[in-house]
Amino acid sequence: MHGLTAYNPPNDKKLNMATNLNLEEQEQLDELKHFWKKYGNAITWLLIAVMGSYAAWNGYLYWQQQQSTKASALFDEVEKSVISGDVAKLERAWNDMKDRFPKTTFAAQSALLAAKSFQMADKSDAATVALQWASENASDQGSVQLARLRLANLQAQNKAYDQALKTLAKPFDPAFAGLAADVQGDIHAVQNKPQDAIKAYSDAWRQLEDNPDYRRLVAAKLNALGVNPEPKKGASP
């Protein structure tokens, strides 16, 4: 008869496949439920911790950027005070810097700048405080060691020789070691300790190989003490 659709019995193979797929999906769903029941809380807290850490890190970066911006503006005040020679204003700006932004590189730079200006203004105590602070608190080792070197020089100028030698006692990086040894030699020479001075100057001369101009100055000091650091012609180095 027209208009009637012939009945096709269900394909057993297709039904079995569909049933198997449904069973597999159900098993997977059951396994997923079991997994979340067992580990869901731990995973949730882990995600919360990760997201919290990410938010905290972004917050820290923002805070650090804000600190750097403010410290940079204050450093401008330090520089302007140095240029103008306004020591009172410099002291205020420098103290503000070390109190508010001690961990920034601007703080160490401010300490070194302020110390130089204080020395030129015959404020040796203020210069000592600034260099001492930088030698103990600067955020980079270059500034720390430069501050130590300048502090020892200042202490020696003030005839605090033992204190200066103590400042120089801790090892310096190669970039500063020769300069530190030269200062040690100067102190020993002033203390009338020629053998100690010769040893320190000799160390300085060896370590200043890449600085020929400064090396010649150290060689002159050794010559004044009766020592020629240069190898004799024809002699093995």
> Which structural domains are found in the chain, ordered by start?
42-139 (no CATH), 145-228 (1.25.40.10)
In the predicted model, what is the mean pLDDT of residues 34-40?
62
**For residue 19, is pLDDT > 60?**
no
**For residue 60, is pLDDT > 50?**
no
**For residue 58, is pLDDT > 50?**
no
Share above pLDDT 90 across residues of the chain, in percent, rounded to a whole number: 61
In the predicted model, what is the mean pLDDT of residues 194-206?
95
Can you give the pTM of this predicted structure? Answer: 0.70
Residues whose CB falls within 8 Å of the CB of residue 70, separated by 6 or more in sequence, listed in order: 100, 101
**For residue 1, is pLDDT > 80?**
no
Helix axes 141-157, 124-137, angle to 10 degrees: 150
In the predicted model, what is the mean pLDDT of residues 139-160?
94
Residues whose CB falls within 8 Å of the CB of residue 84, separated by 6 or more in sequence, listed in order: none
Report the C-alpha gap between 102 and 112 in whole angstroms.
Answer: 13
Better-predicted residue by pLDDT, 147 or 58 = 147
